[in-house]
Amino acid sequence: MSTEADWIHLVTRVVEIVGTAIIVVGSFGALAIFLFRMATGAGSRETLVAAFRSNLGQSILLGLEFLVAADIVNTVAVEPTVQSLIVLAGIVLIRTFLSFSLEVEIEGRWPWQKAAKPVRPVADKGSHSDDRAGGA
Predicted pLDDT of residue 79:
66
In a domain, 124, yes or no: no
In a domain, 131, yes or no: no
Predicted pLDDT of residue 32:
96
Q: How many domains does the chain have?
A: 1
User: Of 104, 17, 22, 18, whose CA–CA distance to 62 is shortest?
Assistant: 22
User: Of 6, 26, 108, whose CA–CA distance to 66 is shortest?
Assistant: 26
In a domain, 122, yes or no: no
Residues spanned by the domain of 9: 4-112
pLDDT tens over the chain, length 136 residues: 568 778 888 899 999 999 999 999 999 999 999 999 999 988 888 899 988 988 998 898 899 889 888 888 888 777 678 888 888 888 888 878 887 887 787 777 777 777 666 556 555 555 454 544 444 4
